[in-house]
Structure 1
Amino acid sequence: MSLGTRLLILAALMAALGLYGALRKPYGTRLPYDVDDLSEIQPQLDRLGERERELVLGYLERSNGDVLPASMADPDFPFTARTFGEAIELQERFLREQAGRDAVAAQRRAERDRLLAPLRDALELRLVARELLTQDEALGLPADVRAKSADNGRRVLVVSYRLVNVSGRTIASAKGGVDVFDDTGRRRTHCWIDQADTLDAFAHDDVRCGNAMRTAEPDDRAFVGVPAERLTLLWEPAEIVFADGSRLTAPH
């Protein structure tokens, strides 16, 4: 047998082995409807490479087991996959497009931060406290009045912020919005601040934010216990008016 023939046979064997390996890949495995228990498909998941396994799991997390016909699916976020192979394809597409969306959003945030920098450089905002208070405490009623009220166990979420005038000039009034996000990117609370009291240069004032008529929900109670290092504050001042009549205004 010539060397050339041997090489051809070897190439054919390698191709056959490659095809066999590809056929053994569990791309045709049906996706489960119950994504809380993946035990039935775990053996097939284990036969995937790490990257493909992550893609399947990522798709299942996003879809939560939902399957829609193409005609009813969101064209931007279609949950139409029924098999591993289809899930891998859709998740790769999602990640690719999400990277583009994230880049655009980051560019917009950077531009927004640049425009807000003069206002943030004049008036800082810091997160001071997260509390579950009684309704009377949330309303700021005097202690003697609160003492006459029975504690019915109802609690209200109150978040305190500190406005710090770092401009070196007296601020007559200020307003703006603040959001607090956790490390998953989820917004945990929002507050609109309208400061009408004068704030001397380098002075600070604490502002409480909450709805005394709204009972704290389990999510609010959980928010109180989130470690501070896991939280990010986004301060977007809308307008700052100085005592001399000049003002800084955020772009619309």
Structure 2
Amino acid sequence: MNFTTKALIVATALVGLGLYGALRKPYGTLLPMDVRDLSEVQPQLDRLGDDERALVLGYLKRSNGDVLPPAMADPDAPFTARTFGEAIELQKRFLREQAERDAVAAQRQAERDRLLEPLREALGLRLLRRELLTRDQALGIADTGGAKRADDGSRVLVVTYRLSNQSGHDIASANGAAEVFDADGRRRAHCWLEQEALEAFASAELRCGNAMRTADPDERAFAELPADGLRLEWEPGEIVFADGKRLSVPR
């Protein structure tokens, strides 16, 4: 066997191996319509590398099995993929663009935090309690020893905050927004707080809740979450001091 023949055999073998490897990659596998059951495509998923498998699964989670023609798809988040290969490319694009959006949002938030810093230094806020109260308790109606209203078992979520004047100056009025997030980043409570007067270094407890609204299952669960897994975001809106000075952040 001469050198030319040997070289031709080796080249043919290499091409064959390359084609075989390409065929083994399941990029042409059709995406399942029911994303709750991936058993039919699990063997093909298992043949992908970890990164590409994560991309396919991420796309399926976002799309929830939806497939749209390009003309009807959202250009910013098109769900047009029909195969693993198409899903991988679209998910790569989504993650790249999401990273860019996150960077812009982080920069904006950093700038806002910088503007809020003087207000937060002057007026602090802490989350004190989350309670499920009867409607009378939420309204502050005391039991005077008379006939008690029948307890129908309904409860109202009441969230209590402590507002502290840390400025060293009397405050005539103040307001701001309080938001509480759980460990997964889900917003669990939101309240607009207002205080008419607060002496220097004094504090006040402010309760937030709707006494006319019965707590739903999510609110009941929020009341039982561990405190160390919660995050409070405090954005003072305006602080007016007794001497007429004001602190505020442009909206």
- Classify 1:5/1:224 alpha carbon distance in 2 versus 1 (closer, same or farther; 3 Å): farther
1:233 matched residue in structure 2:
232
- In the aligned structure 1, how far is the partner of 2:2 from the partner of 2:205? 89
User: Aligned partners of 1:94 and 1:145: how far apart in 2?
Assistant: 63
Residue range with higher mean Cα deviation, 40-49 or 182-191? 182-191
Aligned residue in 1 for 2:57: 57
Conservation of the 8 A alpha-carbon contact between 1:156 and 1:214: yes
- Alignment of 1:149 onto 2:128: no
Q: Structure 1 14/240 Cα, relative in aligned 2: closer, same or farther at 3 Å?
A: same
CA distance in 1, matches of 2:161, 2:219: 17
TM-score (norm 2): 0.93
Partners of 1:137 and 1:146 within 8 A in 2: no
Report SS of the residue matched to 2:55: helix
Q: Which amino acid aligns with 2:34?
A: D
Name the CA shift for 1:17/1:112 in 2 (closer, same or farther; >3 Å): same
Are 1:126 and 1:161, in contact at CA under 8 Å, matched by a contact in 2? yes
Mapped to 1, the partners of 2:71 and 2:192 lie a distance apart of 42
Where does residue 77 of structure 1 map in the other structure?
77
Compare 78-87 and 137-146 and name the one that shifted more. 137-146
Q: 1:35 to 1:155 in 2, by over 3 A?
A: same
How many pairs align? 251
Tell me how far apart the structure 2 counterparts of residues 119 and 5 of structure 1 sit (CA, whole Å): 82
User: What is the CA-CA distance between 1:66 and the residue it aligns to?
Assistant: 1.7
- Spell out the pairing of 1:26-175 with structure 2 (5 A cutoff): 26-144=26-144, 148-175=148-175
**Closer, same or farther: CA 28–140 of 1 in aligned 2, 3 Å:** same
Q: Match of 1:228, as an amino acid?
A: A
Alpha-carbon contact 1:136-1:146 (below 8 Å) kept:
no
Q: What is the CA-CA distance between 1:229 and the residue it aligns to?
A: 2.7
Question: Deviation of residue 160 (structure 1)?
Answer: 1.1
Q: Match for 2:216: what amino acid?
A: E
Q: Deviations over 1:103-146 (max 9, x none)?
A: 00000000000011100010011111111111111111113279
Q: Per-residue displacement from partner, 1:147-194 (whole Å, max 9, x unpaired)?
A: 611111111111111111111112121101111122322222110001
Identity %: 70
The structural deviation recorded for 1:8 is 6.0
Q: Which runs of 5+ in 1 are unaligned?
A: none
Q: Secondary structure at the match of 1:76?
A: coil
How far did 1:52 drift?
0.5
TM-score in terms of structure 1 length: 0.92
How far apart are the structure 2 equivalents of 1:69 and 1:146? 69
In structure 2, distance between residues paired with 1:104 and 1:12:
51
* RMSD, aligned CA: 1.9
What is the aligned partner in structure 2 of residue 195 from structure 1? Answer: 195
